[in-house]
Chains A and B, each alone.
Chain A
Amino acid sequence: DAGVTQSPTHLIKTRGQQVTLRCSPKSGHDTVSWYQQALGQGPQFIFQYYEEEERQRGNFPDRFSGHQFPNYSSELNVNALLLGDSALYLCASSPDRGSSGNTIYFGEGSWLTVV
């Protein structure tokens, strides 16, 4: 059973560019969330997708947008990249957004460096 898979694993972008990160959830999971983890910090919630809609959003600007496809996979897009966007971007999936005890499974992450 494949877990959460993310691509690419590493990438380098220039300030002002745009980036797209991809995520496939664990089999049987329909809810996908994205997190930003800066160096030395805990993950910060960006947004969550369920049934192809953004259901919850954290404190991130509109430059951060996403999409969920009918097969539950998801993309994170960041426009007008800033140096401060350099971080590990984690995708997480869960089977049901409606249970606080559900285990959330994380991917290995995509390391984004903005130069």
Chain B
Amino acid sequence: GDSVTQMEGPVTLSEEAFLTINCTYTATGYPSLFWYVQYPGEGLQLLLKATKADDKGSNKGFEATYRKETTSFHLEKGSVQVSDSAVYFCALTRSGGSYIPTFGRGTSLIVHP
């Protein structure tokens, strides 16, 4: 079945450091890929998405490129801020399927001043 694997957290960084959170997936067909962010005590918010291979999703300084050859969708940001501290979830929805997203377990990011 479909699955999403994220690097384990927490990821702890100093402000202005470079961020990478790895995400790989297993799915048949051509899934759409998403990154969601969950701030403490809140629901999930869509951060960015990519719907086909080689697409790059970007938002708020975050980027992720849909790499079909490596089945990956790694999240990156060049300079993190304390306000980026949150839990980040990678997810996929499979084309031709039920369009119910499959989520990874989430990666906690802690940014220190």
Neighbouring B residues of A106 by C-beta, 8 Å: 36, 43-45
Query: In the docked arrangement, what's the CA distance between A56 and B43, Å?
Result: 22
Interface stretch of the complex, out of A14-22, A69-77, A78-86, A94-102? A94-102
Interface size class of B (residues with CB under 8 A): 20 to 34
- Identity of the chain B residue whose Cβ is nearest the Cβ of A44 in the assembled complex: B103
Residues of A within 8 A of B101 (CB): 45, 104
In the complex, which of the residues A43, A56, A108 contacts B98, with contact meaning CB atoms closer than 8 Å? A56
Q: Tell me whether A103 is interfacial, beta carbon within 8 Å.
A: yes
Min CB distance A74 to B, Å, is 15
User: Could you tell me the distance between the alpha carbons of A84 and B24 in the complex, rounded to whole angstroms?
Assistant: 29
**Neighbouring B residues of A33 by C-beta, 8 Å:** 100
Q: Which of B32, B36, B43, B103 contacts A100 (CB 8 A)?
A: B32
Q: Known interface pairs A100-B51, A101-B32. Does A90 touch B93 (Cβ–Cβ under 8 Å)?
A: no
Minimum C-beta distance from B81 to chain A (A): 23
Q: Is B95 an interface residue (CB 8 A)?
A: yes
Residues in chain A within 8 A of chain B (CB atoms):
4, 6, 33, 40-45, 48, 56, 58, 90, 92, 94, 97-109
Binding site for A on B (CB under 8 A): 31-32, 36, 42-46, 49, 51, 89, 91, 93-101, 103-106
